[in-house]
Amino acid sequence: MLRQLTCYAPERLQAGMIQLALNRFFQPELSAGELNFMQNKMLQIEVSDIGLQFGISLDGCKLKVVLQPLHHNLLLKAELADFVAMISNQVDPDTLFFRRRLQMLGDTELGLYCKNLLDSIGPERLPLPVSASLNWLAQQHAALAQSQLADQCSEIQQHN
Verdict on whether the full-model pTM lies above 0.95: no
Q: Summarize pLDDT for 129-156 with one digit per residue, the tens.
A: 776 776 777 677 667 767 776 777 777 7
Q: How would you list the strands of the sheet with 43-47, edge to edge? A: 62-67, 52-59, 43-47, 74-78, 103-106
Question: Coil, strand, or helix at residue 14?
Answer: helix
